Amino acid sequence: MTSVVSSPPRTIRIGSRKSQLALVQTYWVQAQLQKSFPDITFEVHTMSTQGDKILDVALAKIGDKGLFTKELEVGMLNQEIDFAVHSLKDLPTNLPEGLTLAAITERENPADALVVHEKHKDKQIDTLPEGAVIGTSSLRRLAQLRHHFPHFTFKDVRGNLITRLAKLDAGEYDALILAAAGLERLEMSDRVHQIIPKEISLHAVGQGALGIECRADDSELLTLLKAIEHPATRDRCLAERSFLRSLEGGCQVPIGVNTEISGENLTLTGIVASIDGQKLVKDTVTGIANNAEALGIELAELLRQQGAQEILSEIFAVIQRGS
């Protein structure tokens, strides 16, 4: 009688950035997968990305082609790790050859949040004093807030979430604009002073969701990762990413979105704004959620007809000049 030797269960290596928020997100993914597949070992491997290392330059001036993802992607292509967990808003819409977006997890609140210095705890964003110093590292937030609140002073803020909050509390800023989801994941929801209404600031593409990236030819892993995908979030984020890709925008351009699903229908709203907030085009499309990517392309074309490409071309020229 021939004995059958079964191969030991596979060990799957998860890549993550080293920041506190990145690790919280990665350990959450690890726990969900371990729950679904108890016989498989999931190991976390950490790496530093370019965006983690350069903390004294505004994000838009560094360029955003894989600023927080490239080193992880090289690790996958070199077989050092099997998949990577990203904040989906940091993941470029065009991935390197050989890699794919395998799953998108259920979204936390995608909105932006106002976090204030203690002296402004009785204020909302529309009652902060003239000249209030607002910290943000996002051109998207900057452009939309300048449009509504030209009397504020805006100042770049870099570093991880803890560092940014320390700068706020030390009085360097009157308020910060941060992703509500990041604060929630770090169990710091008490610092959310106000959720910024979507009428004032549309959120970033993919904000609040996690994107799981892996090698496109790893069919076993692709099947496993579908266990943590959230279909409604996937459809919303695919529409948003298609919109951004169609406008050839990166993570650091003033493009904002909002998506809602009702039954089988998906509604996608998008905005493109100039950095000074003077020019702004905005529109909405609705269609079948299964055609999410087509909706993104449709909305991009609508905004192009309204001057979006000219606004973006001006922004790219300014960034390239290093202004």
Question: How does pLDDT run across 235-283, given as a tens digit for each residue?
Answer: 999 999 999 999 976 656 899 999 999 999 999 999 999 999 999 999 9
**Looking at the domain assignment, is residue 140 inside a domain?**
yes
Quick: pLDDT tens for 9-22: 789 999 999 989 99
Separation CA 276–CA 61 (nearest Å): 16
CATH value at residue 164: 3.40.190.10
Token code pair at residue 292? 């999410």
Going by pLDDT thresholds of 50, 70 and 90, the confidence category of residue 66 is low
Whether 56 sits among the annotated catalytic residues: the reply is: no
pLDDT at 10: 82
The rounded percent of the chain whose pLDDT value lies above 70 is 89
Residues 222 and 84 in one domain: yes
Residue 42 counted as domain residue: yes
234 plus 317 within the same structural domain: yes
What is the value of pTM for the model shown? Answer: 0.89
Neighbours of 94 (CB within 10 A): 11
Is residue 150 one of the residues assigned to a domain?
yes
**What CA–CA distance (Å, rounded) separates 64 from 253?**
9
Domain containing 310: what range? 230-323
> Active-site residue among 90, 112, 174, 218?
90
124 and 47 in one domain?
A: no
- The residue type at 107: R
Give the model confidence (pLDDT) of 95-134 as tens digits.
999 999 999 999 999 999 999 999 999 999 999 999 999 9
Span 126-181, pLDDT tens digits: 999 999 999 998 999 999 999 999 999 999 998 888 899 999 999 999 999 999 99
